[in-house]
Amino acid sequence: MNPVAKNRLAKSMNLRRRLIERGIEGLLLFAALVSVFTTLAIVAILLWESVVFFEHVPIWDFLTDTQWTPLFDDAHFGIMSLLAGTLTTTLVALLVAIPLGTVLAIYLSEFAPFRLREIAKPFLELLGGIPTIIYGYFALLFVTPLLQQIFPELPGFNMLSAGLVMGIMIVPYISSLSEDAMRAVPMHMREGSYAMGATRLQTALFVVTPAAMSGLASSYILGISRAVGETMVVAIAAGMQPNLTFNPAEPAATITAYIVQVALGDLPHGSVGYQTIFAAGLTLMLMTLLFNILGHVLRKRFREAY
Amino acid sequence: MSAKTRDLPAVLQLEETRRIIARHKAWDRAFGVLGLVALIGALLVFATLLGEMLKNGAAHLSYDFFTSFPSRRAANAGILSAWVGTTLVMLVTALVAVPLGVGAGIYLEEYAAKNLLTDIIEINVTNLAGVPSIIYGLLALGLFVYQFGLGQSIAAAGLTLALLILPVVIVATREAIRTIPQIIREAAYACGATKWQMVSHHILPYSLPGIMTGVIIGLARAIGETAPIITIGALTFIAFLPQSPFQSEAPFLNVEWLSAPFTVMPIQMFNWVSRPEADFQANAAAAGLVLLVMTLTMNAVAIWIRYHFRKRIKW
């Protein structure tokens, strides 16, 4: 091959190579953009269907009506009854998950021997991986009968047992994230505290915990988001009857349970009943968004740099 | 030492100090016990959950349970259509989520410039991880089922779950890639490798264990997801199997199963839990047991891969 042809060949190979490189980069960029498309699609679908819904139902009724009976002849669309159920179960869950998760995190990060921690962490991760439907079964068929032995008047569906089980379900998330945050606190801060004569507990509570506060706060926020969006446990154990109450001993539907209930029936596509679940979903989405923003603010507020 | 202690004579001061130290040490021990009790409590809850499932469901676990369709008679009912459905849905989920998730992870770590678009993608991935799963169900109902006309099919369910676990795969890929030292990339470039050669010959193989861990954890989560599948309106009583993806004559693969109606394990379990008869609830326990074994095995494999390779690879 003469030098000119060789040169030309090399050039064309170079060009081909560059084209392949660019093509691959484009494909990878597309893969990364899929997540952006997903978000856009979620927002678009929820807004689109909700706009149609709010053409039928004034937004004021949606926010102030105290009844949620969209499938009855005398239809009412008061999201408050569903919100009450969501907030009550979430609150019960957090009352279990935050203290238990924090104690576990402090224990694993500051007290537990190395060996125990190496076993306990994967075990807690396993607990976090159990499907929620199994927790739902557990709540309805084990925890509720157990609670009924203590409180005989407790109905078969109630927010208390759903909330308690949901709390247990969230503990691994909170303990794992909080522990990571506490482990990230530099050792010299602990050593400084010990040098002043502080005990382990004092160091953990007054030095490590405040320093890891931004991480703890975000783990709590994640726990709240989980609880608000949790579906199967409440749909199985708390009943599906909308009920404007904050009493955990009563049955009530949450936003998520309502969506499940509608999806189980067969509502025609495009009916007002079909659109209610998108309005409910939009409310849920706005709530999680609110908590995420709150979490962001808290993280900024408590962030400590070393 | 408080002001009160300082006024005491020296001997008593020492006594008082000792008492304070003893008290603080007692608190220390008390918290140690509290933490251990909390840990054992978590273990007990898990043991109870497993025990309860075993007690109610173990008797129903037989060969017939795996090879029978659901039935109106609890004793004859089985999970054949459910586990076949779960397998096929997971196949779609993995085929979609793995290339997209790994590709996105590689892009963000190796290709992305520091600009607004990259920031948007990154924030977006973080936020998506926090979106409740039922919202994905609504997305799928509006988009896949009606806009794309996929109906209540295996394809719709698989795509939904793929989007749901995408953030898990992306984050795992990025973390795995981040542990690879810069010198590896420089060595590849020094040998004249292009960027993609560097990525495909070095970055991908070295980060494979981390990526595998993420994929398995993501799939384990997808297997147990119930809410999004219910939301797209999947039927609960399916007494037939979709067509097999494989066939004996060319081209050996067919895609008809993608559009078949289906049921999956958690839906089958939900269907049985919500019935009042004790016999069906025992079936639910048996199905739950199978589901539990599936997810726990997958998670255990993922944890094992992570620990095994973390020990072996030293840069």
Closest-CA distance, B197 to chain A, in angstroms, reads 9
- Determine whether the interchain pair A32/B104 forms a contact, defined as Cβ–Cβ distance below 8 Å: yes
For residues A229 and A284, the answer to whether their CB atoms sit within 8 Å is yes
Q: Is the pLDDT of residue B228 over 80?
A: yes
- The pLDDT mean for chain B works out to 86
Chain A residues touching B100 at Cβ < 8 A: 31, 34
pLDDT at A13 over 90: no
- What CATH topology corresponds to B61-312? MetI-like fold (1.10.3720)
User: From the list A24, A34, A228, which residue is nearest B100 (CB)?
Assistant: A34
Segment A56-70 shows an average pLDDT of 82
A28 and B106 within 8 Å at the Cβ level: the answer is yes
Q: How far is A160 from chain B (nearest CA, A)?
A: 17
Q: Residue B1 — very low, low, confident or very high, per pLDDT cuts 50/70/90?
A: very low
Domain ranges of chain B: 3-58, 61-312
Q: What is the mean pLDDT of chain A?
A: 88
Q: What is the DSSP string of B27-80?
A: HHHHHHHHHHHHHHHHHHHHHHHHHHHHHHHGGG-SHHHHH----SSGGG---H
How confident is the model at residue A72, as a pLDDT?
75
Contact B195 A21 (CB under 8 A): yes
Lowest-confidence pick of A89-98, A282-291, B220-229, B247-256:
B247-256
Look at residues A95, A50, A239, A231 and name the one whose alpha carbon lies nearest to residue A156.
A239
For the cut 60, the answer to whether the pLDDT of residue B4 exceeds it is no
Within 10 angstroms of residue A129's Cβ, the number of other Cβ atoms is 21
Res B37: pLDDT: 93
Best of B1, B27, B53, B141 to disrupt the A interface (most A CBs within 10 Å) is B141
Rg (CA), chain B: 27
ipTM of the complex in this document? 0.88
* Token reading at A69: 């009976």
Q: Give the position of tokens 């001993």.
A: A249
As a whole number of angstroms, the distance between CA B80 and CA B21 comes to: 65
| Structure-model confidence comparison of residues B228 and A74, the more confident one | B228
From the candidates A19, A137, A203, A219, which should be mutated to test the interface with B, based on the most B CB atoms within 10 A? A137
Query: Could you tell me which chain B residue has the CA closest to the CA of A224?
Result: B130
Q: How distant is the Cα of B227 from the closest Cα of chain A, in angstroms?
A: 6
List the beta bridge partners of residue B246.
B253
Nearest to A264 among B217, B230, B298 (CB): B230
| Residue B253 pLDDT | 67
Is residue A150 within a helix (H) or strand (E), and if so which, with residue range? helix A144-150
Least trusted range by pLDDT, from A71-85, A172-186, B127-141: A71-85
B230 versus B309: the higher-pLDDT residue is B230
Query: Are A259 and B134 inside 8 Å of each other by CB?
Result: yes
Place of tokens 């030098």: A3
CA distance B250 to chain A (A): 30
- pLDDT average, residue stretch B188-203: 92
B111–A25 CB contact, under 8 Å:
yes
pLDDT at res. B6: 61
CB count within 10 Å of CB A6 equals: 10
- Averaged over B115-121, what is the pLDDT? 90
Q: What percent of chain B has pLDDT over 90?
A: 43
Size of interface A-B (CB pairs under 8 A): 249
Task: Report the gap between the CA of B283 and the closest CA in chain A (Å).
Answer: 12
Would you state the pLDDT for residue A293? 85
Judged by CB atoms closer than 8 Å, whether chains meet at B196 and A133 is answered as no
Mean pLDDT of B64-89: 83
Rounded to whole angstroms, how far apart are CA atoms B300 and B294? Answer: 10
CA distance B247 to chain A (A): 31
Task: State mean pLDDT over A72-100.
Answer: 89
Provide mean pLDDT across the span B190-195: 91
Digit-coded pLDDT (tens) for A170-216: 999 999 999 999 999 999 999 999 999 899 999 999 999 999 988 89
Mean pLDDT of A260-287: 85
* Chain A residue nearest residue B219, CA to CA: A129
Q: What are phi and psi of A186, to 5 degrees?
A: -65, 145
Q: Which of A100, A125, A228 has its CB closest to that of B299?
A: A125
Q: How many residues comprise chain A?
A: 306
B230–A263 C-beta distance less than 8 A: yes
Q: Mean per-residue pLDDT for A61-89?
A: 84
Name the residue with higher pLDDT: B158 or B249: B158
Residues of A in contact with B293 (CB under 8 A): none
* C-alpha separations of A146 from A130, A154, A160, A220, B281 in Å: 21, 10, 12, 28, 17
Higher pLDDT, A298 or A267: A298
Q: Which of B144, B141, B134 is nearest to B227 (CA)?
A: B134
- The predicted pLDDT at position B3 comes to 55
Secondary structure (3-state) at B111: helix
Higher pLDDT, A69 or B272: B272
Instruction: Tell me the two tokens of residue B261.
Output: 């109606």
The confidence score (pLDDT) of residue A239 equals 84
CB of B302 closer than 8 Å to CB of B165: no
Contact B110, B203 (CB under 8 A): yes
Digit-coded pLDDT (tens) for A95-153: 999 999 999 999 999 999 989 988 888 888 888 889 999 999 999 989 999 999 998 88
Q: Which two tokens stand for residue B294?
A: 């599936």
In angstroms, what separates the C-alpha of A2 from chain B's closest C-alpha?
A: 25
Q: Which of A41, A222, A264 sits opposite B143 (nearest CB)?
A: A41
- ω into residue B9 within 30 of 0, thus cis? no
Smallest Cβ–Cβ distance between B273 and the set A32, A116, A236 belongs to A236
Q: Is the pLDDT of residue B72 over 50?
A: yes
Residues of chain A contacting residue B166, judged by C-beta atoms under 8 Å apart: 34-35, 38
The answer to whether the Cβ–Cβ distance between A133 and B269 falls below 8 Å is yes
User: Which residues in chain A are closer than 8 Å to B99, comparing Cβ atoms?
Assistant: 31
Residues of B in contact with A168 (CB under 8 A): 42, 45
Of A234-238, B94-98, B152-156, B274-278, the range with the lowest mean pLDDT is B274-278
